[in-house]
Amino acid sequence: MMKKRYSLDPENSKQAEQIESALLENLEPILPDSQQRARIHQRLFEKVSNSLANESARITIRHSEGRWHTIRPGVRAKALSRDKRTFLLDLACGATLPMHRHHEDEECVVLRGTAQLGSLMVHEGDYHLALAGSRHGKISSETGALLYLRGIPIGHTTEVARDLLTAYLPGKGRDHVTIRSNEGEWSSIVPGVQYKTLYNDETSYSSMIRMTSDTVLESQQKILADDEEFLLLKGDMFIGDMLMQAGDWQFAPKGTKHLPLTTSKEAVLFVRSAQNFLSCH
């Protein structure tokens, strides 16, 4: 919706809208001639063609799409990435997962509810990182929870068995990292857009992007230098011409065209990349 540049009567906006509406109803429509129609038609189809080209290499999975697989009573998983190492995990009330050891870094973002990760309770909007070599105690949820997980081998039976069996062996005992939704330092990128670093090991970067309503975030790069992964946690957002809603996930491969982020209302986005997202903006 376009914002009006002026009001017929700033001191009585309601009456002004009524007058404006009456004037518009009595205006005679002006139809474009054949040349104008042809130009409009051409521009429209060029825009559609460009939009389809920009989206063709991207993979988008809506929160209501994808196949859920039950992995144990009360626990189901939905794969997001083609390598089956990025998942949504849905825990029903009272559901549990056994103790296990991590052989690669595992990132977790709580999309809904609360979950108990060993002795740690995490809530909606929290970020949790289990470093390779660390161990998780039993995972459970009394309220039910929806978790985004990256770096788990649910789609790989042999690796799942390894993670369960090695949980009982001595390990490196590495610490976990937890950043609550109300913790961490937010930095401004441009007016109305803030950035919070979650994880940075110089080869992998995870962050939160928070945007107020009616803001746009462009990039200095025209082409993505590395793969990027997006998960919308809150609100609505356009990635290019693609409308994303809370719970939607998108993967943008290296070499595809950068697309701007646009919001009409407040939104929070989780971003993961092999390149620091902040350095590109």
Does 26 score more than 90 pLDDT? no
Q: How confident is the model over 138-147, as a mean pLDDT?
A: 92
Structure tokens at 133: 């070599």
Give phi and psi for 193, each to the nearest 5. Answer: -130, 125
Q: How confident is the model over 213-217, as a mean pLDDT?
A: 91
Q: How confident is the model over 262-269, as a mean pLDDT?
A: 91
- Residue given tokens 């063609």 in the structure block: 49
173: left (phi over 0), alpha (psi -120 to 50) or beta: left
Where residue 123 falls among pLDDT bands split at 50, 70, 90? very high
Render pLDDT for 225-257 as a digit per residue (tens, 0 to 9): 888 999 999 999 999 989 999 999 999 998 888
Domains located in the chain, CATH noted: 69-179 (2.60.120.10), 184-280 (2.60.120.10)
Q: pLDDT value at position 129?
A: 92
Give phi and psi for 236, each to the nearest 5. Answer: -120, 150
- Residue given tokens 């002004």 in the structure block: 16
Q: pLDDT value at position 156?
A: 78
Does 107 score more than 80 pLDDT? yes
Does 51 score more than 60 pLDDT? yes
Sort 205 into a burial class: Cβ within 10 Å, 0-12 / 13-18 / 19+.
buried
Where residue 279 falls among pLDDT bands split at 50, 70, 90? low
Q: How confident is the model over 250-274, as a mean pLDDT?
A: 90
- How far apart are alpha carbons 251 and 261 in whole angstroms? 14
Segment among 49-63, 196-210, 243-257 with least mean pLDDT:
49-63
Q: Could you tell me which residues are beta bridge partners of residue 252?
A: 228
Sort 159 into a burial class: Cβ within 10 Å, 0-12 / 13-18 / 19+.
middle
Does 186 score more than 70 pLDDT? yes
- How far apart are alpha carbons 215 and 211 in whole angstroms? 7
Q: How confident is the model over 8-30, as a mean pLDDT?
A: 75
20: left (phi over 0), alpha (psi -120 to 50) or beta: alpha
Q: Is the dihedral of CA 241, 242, 246, 252 positive or negative?
A: negative
Q: Number of helices and strands (H, E) in the chain?
A: 3, 23
Q: pLDDT value at position 229?
A: 93
Segment among 2-11, 116-125, 175-184 with least mean pLDDT:
2-11
Run of H or E residues at 38: helix 34-55
Where residue 172 falls among pLDDT bands split at 50, 70, 90? low
Q: Could you tell me which residues are beta bridge partners of residue 188?
A: 194
Q: pLDDT value at position 161?
A: 78
Please give the mean pLDDT across all residues of the chain: 85
Better-predicted residue by pLDDT, 88 or 132: 88
Segment among 68-77, 147-156, 256-265 with least mean pLDDT:
147-156
Q: Please, are residues 209 and 217 in contact by the beta-carbon 8 Å criterion?
A: yes
Does 3 score more than 50 pLDDT? no
